[in-house]
Structure 1
Amino acid sequence: MAACEVCGNEYERAFEVRMAGQSHTFDSFECAIHRLAPSCEHCGCRVIGHGVEAGEHVFCCAHCAVAEGQTGLRDHVSA
């Protein structure tokens, strides 16, 4: 059994995620999101979908990006 690096739970179904050359072990997607997903620079929520980026800045949606003074960004829309 492996221990989750976020909560420490030892779980027989723990899984490994490789990101940016590093290996991480988690017992749930919730812990993986807590450790690896970026936070929106405006509202602070975890960005687990596509989000929007302006340079090095990450936002959960265009609304939050605009609220932080970014321009020219829009959410993904389907045709």
Structure 2
Amino acid sequence: MAVCEVCSNDYEMSFEVHAQGAVHVFDSFECAIHAMSPVCEHCGVKISGHGVEADRRFFCCAHCARAAGVGAELVRDHA
């Protein structure tokens, strides 16, 4: 059993995520997303889906990227 680094739950089915040379322990995908997801630079939401990366910045959608000043020709939603 291992302790989740987000909620401190000691859970027999916890799992490890290895990323960028570090090892993280979580008890759920919810905690993993909370800890590891990038944050939209415009609205502040955690990005758990595809999102948009433009100018080395992360946004939850094309709308937020454009609202933050990224040129419309660089971003579009995958809809």
Q: Please say whether Structure 1 and Structure 2 have the same fold, judged by a TM-score greater than 0.5.
A: yes
1:30 CA displacement: 1.0
The residue type equivalent to 1:30 in the other structure is E
Tell me, in whole angstroms, the C-alpha distance in 1 between the residues paired with 2:20 and 2:55: 18
Match of 1:21 in 2: 21
Note the 1:29-44 alignment, pairs <5 A: 29-44=29-44
Alignment partner of 1:25: what SS? strand
Alignment-derived partner of residue 62 in structure 2: 62
Deviation beyond 4 Å, 4+ runs, structure 1: none
- The one-letter amino acid paired with 1:76 is H
Which one-letter code corresponds to 1:57 in the other structure?
A: R
Residue 55 of structure 1: CA displacement?
2.1
Unmatched segments (≥5 aa) in structure 1: none
Do residues 76 (structure 1) and 78 (structure 2) align? yes
Q: For this pair of structures, how many residues does the alignment match?
A: 77
Gapped regions of structure 2 (runs ≥ 5): none
What is the CA RMSD across the aligned residues, in angstroms?
A: 0.9
Amino acid paired to 1:75: D
Q: Give me the identity figure in percent.
A: 61
How far the C-alpha of 1:56 sits from its partner, in A, is 2.0
Matches of 1:30 and 1:68, distance apart in 2: 27
Shift in Å at residue 20 of structure 1?
1.1
TM-score between both structures, scaled by the size of structure 2: 0.91
